[in-house]
Amino acid sequence: MSKNFKQDVLSRRTFAIISHPDAGKTTLTEKLLLFGGAIRDAGTVKGKKTGKYATSDWMEIEKQRGISVTSSVMQFDYQNARVNILDTPGHQDFSEDTYRTLTAVDSAVMIIDSAKGIEEQTLKLFKVCKMRGIPIFTFINKLDRQGKPPLELLAELEEVMGIESYPMNWPIGMGKEFLGIYDRFYKRIEQFRVEDTEKYIPLNEDGEIEGDHSIKQDSLYDQTLEEIMLLNEAGNEFSEEKINNGDLTPVFFGSALSNFGVQTFLETYLQFAPSPQARKSSMGEIDPLSEEFSGFIFKIQANMNPAHRDRIAFLRICSGKFERGMTVNLPRTGKQVKLAQSTQFMADDRSTVNEAVSGDIIGLYDPGFYQIGDTLTVSKNAFQYEKLPQFTPELFVKVTAKNVMKQKHFHKGIQQLVQEGAIQLYKTVKTEDYLLGAVGQLQFEVFEHRMRNEYNVEVIMEHVGSKIARWLVDEEVNENLSSGRSLLVEDRFGKKAFLFENEFALRWFQDKNPEVKLYNPMDEQ
């Protein structure tokens, strides 16, 4: 294929931002988009207060709650790179969505609030990245406020997360006394709240300011020099190889809200972040530079545009070039699909995409035949990409339509929302009741809200509580084994499972019915 194709692929930087809610992900994303020229005004983040919303929080429910529910994809060009940012919901009830999104990126940016240090959700998401070997870049945010001492934050990274760190820059003071950052990489000091022409002070060979400068009078400058010396002597060495393997995280300090350190971060990040990586498949690793187009669907979302009631499948391109109108194979069904309607994203703006290459994320119009995890390829070999992580729901509700006349809308809404993968649908085998299963309570609330807003159906949800779901190895089963403590249900693929009241009920059932073989899909991952 052409030289351009190779250059195009190598210019891609596809990443997700992970953090605990409120660390500043939306603010940082907006600032990055501003640099990329992808938006003109930063929507003020907490829309509830100002009436304006962050560009990446575009669903009604998100506006109401001020949290990001679904991952959106944003693309922009910066210098010679094409950047694809995959936004992820910070709230833990949506971690499933985030985990799947992380299968579609080549690196991750982790934001830490300098006052809070490492928080629970950040740690969880970090572990997923680490397990997948995804390179992680750290942005320590909110330096305009008093936070923990930077050395303590580094120690936390190493001790709590078990990852080596390399500070690319270092703060000079913080909060009210924040003077700027000492940039080890660009060998300069970047001053906080100082006009552009004087913003940067170059450093000499010894890493100090040559000649006179008022900042040298400040004791914070001396303290920074001491800390830098400590880092040079006792800190980790910079290693691109370790970054690529996810064993060392480059650390940046700044303030997303004040737009300080963000551009420096972006430029350095783009230099060291990996271009599209090879991905595992049933046929071995697939090279992103290989000519045959392939990719996998990591997310399906209904009603991205409520006016059209449509559904979009998000595809990560893993090799070759996408051209609109091309025909590809869907190995799961053995059928062919013509990819005629394809979109690119900029939050709620969409435009038709005619060409895209490895590393890019495109949206495909889904008339209902895609599933999360599907591979699409032009290859004659019906290979499939690795299975996506699956979660066994733990919380269940029984769901019915308030108005029996709305059954048609009710079924359509359930079917479409379930296809997105955040909630699971089950039918009790004996009574044919509908049960919904989810990992977090908030997913039910989103479901209820969307049924009302998008399908015009009021639903009644009765709590069934938490259950342990185990699937049957053999489909043949005595239906009389179903009881309140071990409820027999069928999932939406027609597979039977028991929902147990608790661990005790599960063990009791297994003791009494050793011939019934059960499994947990999560154990196979």
Query: Does 95 interact with ligand GDP (rule: CB under 6 A)?
Result: no
Of 144 and 501, nearer to ligand GDP (C-beta) is 144
C-alpha 371 chain-centroid distance: 19
Residues numbered 202-261 forming contacts with ligand GDP, rule: CB under 6 A: 255-258
> Which residues fall in the annotated binding site for GTP?
19-26, 87-91, 141-144
Strands 107-113 and 136-141: parallel
The yes or no reply on residue 45 touching ligand GDP (CB under 6 A) is yes
Comparing CB distances to ligand GDP, the nearer of 9 and 23 is: 23
Q: Nearest approach, Cβ of 299 to ligand GDP (angstroms)?
A: 19
Indicate the burial class of 3 (C-beta count within 10 angstroms; 0-12, 13-18, 19 or more): exposed
The residue assigned the tokens 């939050």 is 347
CB of 20 to ligand GDP, least distance (A): 7
Q: How many residues bind ligand GDP (CB under 6 A)?
A: 19
Q: Which is nearer to ligand GDP, 19 or 419 (CB)?
A: 19
Out of 11, 55, 84, 141, the only residue in the binding site for ligand GDP (CB under 6 A) is 141
State in angstroms the smallest separation of the CB of 347 from ligand GDP.
14
Question: Is residue 145 part of the contact set for ligand GDP (CB under 6 A)?
Answer: yes
Report the residue number, 263 or 513, with the smaller CB distance to ligand GDP: 263
Q: How near is the Cβ of 66 to ligand GDP at its closest, in Å?
A: 8
Q: Does 294 bind ligand GDP (CB under 6 A)?
A: no
Give min distance, CB of 16 to ligand GDP, in A: 13
Looking at this protein, which amino acid is placed at residue 460? I
Q: Please select the residue that binds ligand GDP; options are 36, 47, 90, 274, rule is CB under 6 A.
A: 90
Q: Contact, 292 vs 304, CB < 8 A?
A: no
**Smallest gap from residue 45 Cβ to ligand GDP (A):** 4
Contact 71, 56 (CB under 8 A): no
Q: How far apart are CA 270 and CA 76, in angstroms?
A: 12
Q: Which of residues 163-192 bind ligand GDP (CB under 6 A)?
A: none
Minimum CB distance to ligand GDP smaller for 144 or for 366: 144
**117 is a contact residue toward ligand GDP (CB under 6 A):** no
Q: Least distance (Å) from ligand GDP to the CB of residue 254?
A: 7
For residue 383, give the nearest of 284, 466, 316 by alpha carbon: 284
Judged by CB, which is closer to ligand GDP: 36, or 261? 261
Site string for ligand GDP, 407-426 (x = CB under 6 A): --------------------
Nearer to ligand GDP, 22 or 501 (CB): 22
Q: What are phi and psi of 93, to 5 degrees?
A: -65, -15
Q: Which two tokens stand for residue 395?
A: 């919380």
CA 441 to CA 457: how far, in whole Å? 20
Task: Give the three-state DSSP class for 203.
Answer: strand
Nearer to ligand GDP, 125 or 361 (CB): 125
- Contact between 46 and ligand GDP by CB under 6 A: the answer reads yes
| Contact between residue 493 and residue 372 where contact means Cβ atoms under 8 Å apart | no
Is 55 among the residues that bind ligand GDP (CB under 6 A)? no
Among 8, 9, 15, 22, contact with ligand GDP (rule: CB under 6 A) = 22
d(C-alpha 196, C-alpha 206), whole Å: 25
Minimum distance of ligand GDP from residue 125's CB (angstroms): 12
Identify which of residues 45 and 497 has a Cβ nearer to ligand GDP in the complex. 45
* Residues tagged in the binding site annotation: 19-26, 87-91, 141-144
What kind and span of H or E run contains 170? Answer: strand 169-172
Query: Which residue, among 94, 97, 78, has the nearest Cα to 86 in the 3D structure?
Result: 97
Short-list 338, 308, 303, 323, CA closest to 415 = 303
Helices (H), 372-489: 407-419, 441-455
Number of Cβ atoms within 10 Å of the Cβ of 290: 17
Shorter beta-carbon distance to ligand GDP: residue 141 or 277: 141
Picking from 128, 109, 132, the residue whose alpha carbon sits closest to that of residue 25 is 109
Distance CA 419, CA 311 (A): 10
Interaction mask 23-42, ligand GDP, x per CB under 6 A: xxxxx---------------
Tokens of residue 188, six digits: 């300069």
One-character DSSP codes across 243-283: HHTTSEEEEEE-BTTTTBSHHHHHHHHHHHS--PPPEEEBT
Nearest approach in angstroms of CB 361 to ligand GDP is: 20
Q: Residues 360-399 vs ligand GDP: string with x where CB under 6 A?
A: ----------------------------------------
CB of 405 to ligand GDP, least distance (A): 41
Least CB distance to ligand GDP at residue 126 (A)? 15
Contacts of 47 (CB under 8 A, 6+ apart): 53, 54, 57, 63, 66
HSE-CB of 130 using CA atoms within 13 angstroms: 16
CA distance 278 to 300: 23
Interface residues with ligand GDP (CB under 6 A) are 19, 21-27, 45-46, 90, 141-142, 144-145, 255-258
